[in-house]
């Protein structure tokens, strides 16, 4: 498996098509080498001789562990606490103080290892107090990868995840668990629930709508028609007057969305 990535044209097409059909993920030519290298890593871990064999086994579809491993590898994106402060500051200063006193529901729609969901819980505890958060706040984190959902539930993080946090957050909301790793305190963990969910599979199976949805650093995996379908499906599970927060570099312009743009990365559902 030491051939140069550019020789894997057929495998790149087959695996890319499988990911798009199965998950909606799109790996354009500029991300070709990224996809191939990630799939080569899957081959190494699962002792698969080459990408051709991997593609064959994906198409056969009878090895669920391998399927989930491929999805996890394709969707892996480094995340960390307090990522993109511009969006978080808007949430803290303009959205959080006005959430219903009787209770609020927040959805982290691409939760990865849970950094975003726990960040939101910490911000809520800081801004509105732990008592309100415990009694009135529910945060759901979803991701297509069961591997990262398991990591989110453990809530143990190393330096790469926590080194951009404000200094006072670590001692107040984390327990040192050894070997330079820290676990989110139980009272914050209890605010967050994590589940597997493929954003492509909509309408979404929620019984109650959300007041705020974070959908950051995931839409670029999808093509434009799928992006529109996803943000419209999110709209349908958001309360009137509710919010959608994306990455500051992601614009919904051109998608003919029902969302009203408030600022870069900030959208609202009209009342």
pLDDT tens-place string over residues 78-91: 799 999 999 999 99
How many helices (H) and strands (E) are present in the chain, helices listed first? 12, 10
CATH of the domain at 43: 1.10.155.10
Percentage of the chain modeled with pLDDT above 90: 78
- Asked if residue 55 is part of any domain, the answer here is yes
**Is 241 within a domain?**
yes
Distance from C-alpha of 241 to C-alpha of 158, rounded to nearest angstrom: 37
- How many domains does one find in the chain? 2
Q: Which residues constitute the domain of residue 195?
A: 85-268
Same domain, residue pair 46 and 95: no
- DSSP for 93-158, written as a single string: IIIGGGS-TT-EEEEETT-TTSHHHHHHHHHHHHHH-HHHHHHHEEEEEEES-HHHHHHHHHTEE-
What average pLDDT score do residues 21-28 get? 87
Of 47, 75, 103, which marks where a domain is finished? 75
Q: Structure tokens of 118?
A: 């726990």
pLDDT computed for residue 6 by the predictor? 58
| Final residue in a domain of this structure, among 56, 75, 94 | 75
Same domain, 249 and 181: yes
The pLDDT tens digits for 117-131 are: 999 999 999 999 999
Distance CA 233, CA 248 (A): 21
Burial class (CB in 10 A: 0-12, 13-18, 19+), 32: middle
Nearest to residue 47, comparing CAs of 26, 27, 25, 63? 63
80 lies in some domain: no
| 20 and 137 housed in the same domain | no
For residue 3, pLDDT beyond 60:
no
Say yes or no: 47 and 105 in one domain: no
Looking at the structure, do residues 250 and 140 belong to the same domain, yes or no? yes
Give the DSSP H/E element, type plus range, for residue 36: helix 32-46
210 in a structural domain? yes
How far apart, in whole angstroms, are the C-alpha atoms of residue 186 and residue 217? 27
Residue 2 has pLDDT above 60, yes or no: no
One domain for residues 254 and 206? yes
- Residues 45, 152 within the same domain: no
- pLDDT band for 64, please (50, 70, 90 cuts): confident
Q: What is the pTM of this model?
A: 0.86
Mean pLDDT of 154-163: 96
């Amino acid at each position: 498996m030491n051939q140069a990535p550019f020789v894997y044209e057929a495998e790149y097409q087959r695996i890319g098509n499988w990911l798009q059909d199965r998950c909606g993920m799109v790996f354009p030519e500029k991300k070709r080498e990224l996809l191939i290298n990630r799939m080569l890593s899957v081959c190494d871990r699962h002792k698969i001789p080459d990408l051709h064999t991997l593609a064959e086994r994906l198409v056969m579809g009878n090895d669920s562990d391998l399927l989930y491993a491929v999805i996890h590898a394709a969707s892996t994106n480094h995340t960390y606490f307090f990522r993109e402060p511009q969006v978080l500051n808007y949430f803290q200063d303009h959205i959080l103080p006005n959430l219903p006193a009787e209770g609020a529901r927040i959805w982290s729609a691409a939760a990865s290892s849970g950094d975003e969901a726990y960040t939101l819980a910490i911000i809520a505890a800081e801004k509105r107090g732990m008592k309100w958060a415990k009694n009135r706040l529910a945060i759901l984190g979803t991701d297509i990868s069961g591997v990262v959902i398991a990591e989110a539930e453990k809530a143990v993080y190393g330096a790469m995840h926590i080194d951009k946090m404000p200094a006072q957050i670590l001692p107040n909301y984390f327990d040192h668990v050894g070997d330079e790793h820290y676990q989110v305190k139980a009272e914050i963990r209890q605010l967050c629930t994590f589940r597997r969910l493929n954003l492509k599979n909509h309408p979404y199976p929620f019984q109650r709508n959300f007041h705020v949805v974070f959908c950051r650093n995931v839409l670029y995996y999808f093509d434009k028609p799928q992006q529109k379908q996803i943000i419209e499906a999110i709209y349908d599970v958001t309360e009137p007057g509710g919010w959608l927060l994306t990455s500051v570099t992601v614009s919904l312009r051109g998608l003919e969305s029902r969302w009203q743009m408030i600022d870069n990365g900030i959208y609202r559902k009209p009342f």
